[in-house]
Chain A
Amino acid sequence: MAEKDIFQKINKLKQISLSESQKEEIFLLIQKRIISSERRKFAFLSNFNFRKYQVGFVFALLIIFASSTLALANNSLPDSPLYSLKIFYQNAKIAFTKKENKAQVKAIVLKERLNDLKKAKSINDPRVLKLANSLKEDLKSLPNEITQLNKQKEILKVSQSIQKTTEKMKEISNEVPLVLKKEINNALEETNQKIYSLILETEDKINNCPTYLLKNLEDLRVYFENSEYVKNYNPKEILEVKNTLNEIDSLMKAGDCLGALEKIESLNQIKLIHSLRVLNESSVDSSPSESLDQK
Chain B
Amino acid sequence: MTNEEFHNFYNQNIDKVFRFLYLRTNSFESAQDLAIESFFKFWLSSENGQKIENPRAFLFKIAKNVLIDFYRKKKDTPLSLDELKEKGFEIPQNDFLKELEQDEEIKNILKTLQEIKPIYREVILLHYLENLSIKEISFILKKKENNIRVLLHRALEALKDKLF
- B-contacting residues of A (Cβ < 8 Å)? 1, 3, 6-7, 9-19, 22-23, 26-27, 29-30, 33-34, 37
CA distance A213 to B138 in the complex (A): 99
> Which B residue sits closest to A23, measured CB to CB?
B14
**In the assembled complex, B110 has its CB within 8 A of some CB on chain A:** yes
Residue of A7, A14, A19 touching B19 (CB-CB under 8 A): A14
A residues less than 8 Å from B114 (CB atoms) = none
Q: Smallest distance from the beta carbon of A39 to chain B beta carbons, Å? A: 14
20 contacts between A and B (CB under 8 A): A9-B109, A10-B125, A11-B129, A12-B106, A12-B109, A13-B23, A13-B109, A13-B129, A14-B129, A15-B96, A15-B99, A16-B19, A18-B96, A22-B32, A23-B10, A26-B18, A26-B32, A27-B7, A27-B10, A27-B14
Task: Determine the distance from Cα of A16 to Cα of B129 in the docked complex, in whole angstroms.
Answer: 11
In the A-B complex, the 5 residue pairs with the closest CB atoms:
A17-B15, A10-B128, A33-B40, A16-B19, A30-B39
Q: Report chain B residues within 8 Å CB of A10.
A: 109, 124-125, 128-129
Q: Is B151 an interface residue (CB 8 A)?
A: no
| B contact residues, range | 35 or more
| A11–B124 alpha-carbon span in the complex (Å) | 11
Chain B residue numbers with a CB within 8 Å of A11 are 128-129
Q: Residue of A at shortest CB range from B14? A: A23
Which residues of B in the span 109-161 have a Cβ within 8 Å of any Cβ on A? 109-110, 124-125, 128-129, 156, 159-160
B103 and A6 within 8 A (CB): no
B66, chain A: closest CB distance, angstroms: 13
Q: Which residues of B contact A14 (CB under 8 A)?
A: 19, 129
A17 with B163: in contact, given A23-B14, A30-B36, A30-B43 (CB under 8 Å)?
A: no
CA distance A19 to B18 in the complex (A): 12
* In-complex Cβ contact of B156 among A3, A16, A34 (8 A): A3
The answer to whether residues A17 and B96 also contact, given A10-B109, A12-B105, A30-B39 and a CB cut-off of 8 A, is yes
Please, how many angstroms separate the alpha-carbon atoms of A33 and B6 in the complex? 14
A30 touches B10 (CB 8 A): yes
Whether B15 pairs with A26 at a CB distance below 8 angstroms is: no
Which residues from chain B contact A19 at a C-beta distance below 8 Å?
95-96
A236 → chain B closest CB, angstroms: 82
User: A23 to chain B: which residues have CB within 8 Å?
Assistant: 10-11, 14-15
The 8 Å CB contact of A6, one of B22, B44, B106, B159, is B159
Residues of A within 8 A of B14 (CB): 18, 23, 26-27
Instruction: Please give the distance in Å from A23's CB to the nearest CB on chain B.
Output: 5
B91 an interface residue at 8 Å Cβ cutoff? no
- A9: chain B residues at CB < 8 Å are 105, 108-109, 163
Q: Which residues of B come within 8 Å of A, CB atoms?
A: 7, 10-11, 14-15, 18-19, 22-23, 32, 35-36, 39-40, 43-44, 95-96, 99-100, 103, 105-106, 108-110, 124-125, 128-129, 156, 159-160, 163-164
CB distance from B116 to the nearest CB of A (A): 12
Question: What residue in chain B is nearest A25 (Cβ atoms)?
Answer: B32
Question: Which of B18, B40, B44, B106 lies in contact with A15, CB distance below 8 A?
Answer: B106
> Given A15-B96, A17-B15, A18-B18, are A6 and B36 also a contact pair (CB < 8 Å)?
no
Do B22 and A12 touch (CB < 8 A)? no
In angstroms, how far is the closest chain B Cβ from the Cβ of A7? Answer: 6
Would A12 and B11 be within 8 Å (CB), given that A6-B163, A29-B36, A34-B40 are in contact?
no
User: What B residues does A15 contact at CB under 8 A?
Assistant: 96, 99-100, 103, 106
Chain A residue contacts of B110, Cβ below 8 A: 13
> Which chain B residue shows the least CB distance to A20?
B11
B44, A13: Cβ atoms closer than 8 Å? no
State whether B106 touches A1 (Cβ < 8 A): no
Assess the B22–A16 pair: CB atoms within 8 A: yes
User: A13–B96 Cα gap in the complex (Å)?
Assistant: 11
A27: chain B residues within 8 A (beta carbon): 7, 10, 14
Q: A16-B19, A17-B18 are in contact. Are A33 and B36 (CB under 8 A)?
A: yes
How far apart are A22's CB and chain B's nearest CB, in angstroms?
A: 8
